[in-house]
Structure 1
Amino acid sequence: MASQSKIGVSTGFFNFADLDDFIQGVKEFDVDYIEFKADPPCFFPLNLDDKKIELIKNKLSSCGIKPIVHSTIYDVNLASLNPTIREASVKTTLDCLQLAKRLGAEILVIHGGNLPSNYSLKFMEEAKSNLILSLEELIQVADKEEITIGLENHAKGFNIGMIKNVEDHLFFLKKINSRFLKAVFDIGHANLYGVSIEDYTRKIKDFLVEIHLHNNEGKKDNHWPLDQGNIDVEGFLELIDELDISVPLILEMISLKDYEKSLSFLRKKDLIKV
């Protein structure tokens, strides 16, 4: 059975692509969303004047595509133990929130930050407290601007992420307890931690605002097409249909060819509406 959710693609691995060319290429895929990752050089708040924003909005409108903004990833750490870095990370994220507002996006995706791996785990509570402080500051503005912040679970990496499992995810969502803070569930990232994707989905479903789809073998954050790797994507989409979850499904792959391949897989399996 085809999912009721709308489908989209991310610019995440296209930092140096021409946005007009990317949007035009995506138009042929007949998707509902483009998620723009706000990192330099081509889609960064400080590099986008009102004229450029208006051009992007008009292009999206002509293609029938809605925008989502993914806040800056690189050099940002909302849980940083260094107050200067944490405050700069909040400011950068707020710049992205205003960019989302200007673009007409309703969702801003963020990462929760990390604790550097050479720190003792006894500092984890301080890092968590810093992330809570950052989220509280962000939500004050999100509430005013009516932008929903989607807190995403981390990929497993060198440093220790704040959100490694559904319990971590729910902790921050419930601590902030705001209708403008929701969950973005990345199934590829969850797979790297070896957690049950079904269990994660069932527990997080009431907080979901978006889902990220890509595949891997549980060892590296490959962002492979959906028909590669060991994640049962077909089973996952059947699960969200069973649970009546209807949120944007955003594909995160490294090439337009991989997007085309993944969309073809979904349509052949009748997992999304054509």
Structure 2
Amino acid sequence: MMIGASSFASPLPELEKEVDSIELYIPKLRLYNGGKLMKERVDELHDLLSTGRALTTMHAPYFGELPNYPKELIVDTSHMGSIQFRLMGESISLASEFGCSVLTVHPGKISGDREKSFSRMVENLKKLSFEAENHGIILGLENKEGTDPTNLCCTVDEHLRAIREVNSPSLKATFDIGHANLTCSGNMGKLRYFVRELNGNVAHVHVHDNNGVLAESYYGDMHGAPGEGNIDFSVLRELEFKGVFNLEVFSMDAVRAGKSLLSDLSKHPKPDKAVHPKQSPE
């Protein structure tokens, strides 16, 4: 297990002292002036990272609805035009330039007919996966929270369906345990089933906590430190995944709490599969 953290948790030099990997979060790195990628800012980030030891992954622009999300960087993978393809292409190129192993991308939003939105997303992801393959990058399609009814790829079935229909070696899953917990309404049996079904398709993991219920803010997606919500993180052992477990939290205290929990998990063996048979919970 390799423990990482998102770049918005703290200044990068401080993060590098705590974790082995940093997920470069494009919308919050100030690499853009409006919708224009600024080469001098990219060069500055390159210089900063060249002095450190942490490996990197990257998070592409997405459909951000909060007031502080840069409106020029909004990307809905179900509804993409030339600007959105340019933005995603720039993220793929940046991921390659920075030596990132995985670029996380969000699924699309439902607008009108669900199946039409899903089909458009699949076609767009095929194009992005082709470009990613040419750059030697894996795209990690993230599962989203089911508490927001406009999200695609909330359930494990639809998440896997998207990956299979794109049918590219350059598209795998970014498993977000916090989002899955919301989709599973905080039910650990359902969450364990989600994890087991996804096993073997994962390229990256996002780790954060919540209470598994719809709330007034962020559809319940609070991105708390592990231990602040109801998630039993031992389900992560079911993934049999040896890559980056990225703490998608907002402070160094939360990073340290998550690092402690993940380190403890890695010291204990995976439970016998016979104890929890792989079946869909009621």
Coarse TM-score class (shorter-chain normalised): 0.7 to 0.9
| Partner SS, residue 228 of structure 1 | coil
Equivalent position to 1:125, from 115, 132, 140: 115
**What does residue 53 of structure 2 align with?**
64
**What does residue 216 of structure 2 align with?**
none
> Higher relative CO (CA 8 A, sep ≥ 6), structure 1 or 2?
1
- Distance in 2 of aligned mates of 1:215 and 1:265: 12
Going from structure 1 to structure 2, the CA distance change for 1:143 and 1:40 (only over 3 Å counts) comes to same
Q: CA RMSD in A?
A: 2.2
1:52 CA displacement: 4.0
1:213 CA displacement: 0.5
**What does residue 237 of structure 2 align with?**
238
1:65 CA displacement: 0.5
Going from structure 1 to structure 2, the CA distance change for 1:101 and 1:48 (only over 3 Å counts) comes to farther
1:180 and 2:170 correspond? yes
1:42 and 2:30 correspond? yes
Contact 2:147 2:183 in 1 (8 A): no
Going from structure 1 to structure 2, the CA distance change for 1:259 and 1:125 (only over 3 Å counts) comes to same
**What does residue 207 of structure 1 align with?**
201
1:139 CA displacement: 1.5
Deviation readout 1:161-214 (Å, 9 max, x if unpaired): 110111001111111111101100001001111162211221111111011100
| Residue identity in the other structure for 2:61 | T
| Partner SS, residue 115 of structure 1 | coil
1:101 and 2:77 correspond? no
Equivalent position to 1:160, from 146, 150, 159: 150
- Distance in 1 of aligned mates of 2:87 and 2:180: 26
1:27 CA displacement: 2.1
| Partner SS, residue 63 of structure 1 | coil
- Distance in 2 of aligned mates of 1:245 and 1:265: 16
| Residue identity in the other structure for 1:227 | G
**What does residue 110 of structure 1 align with?**
105
- Distance in 2 of aligned mates of 1:8 and 1:135: 26
Deviation readout 1:52-81 (Å, 9 max, x if unpaired): 43443343343210111100123211112x
**What does residue 263 of structure 1 align with?**
259
Which blocks of at least 5 consecutive residues in structure 1 are unaligned? 15-20
| Residue identity in the other structure for 2:235 | F
1:140 and 2:130 correspond? yes
**What does residue 228 of structure 2 align with?**
228
Contact 2:31 2:38 in 1 (8 A): yes
Contact 1:223 1:253 in 2 (8 A): yes
**What does residue 159 of structure 2 align with?**
169
Return the TM-score normalized by structure 2: 0.80
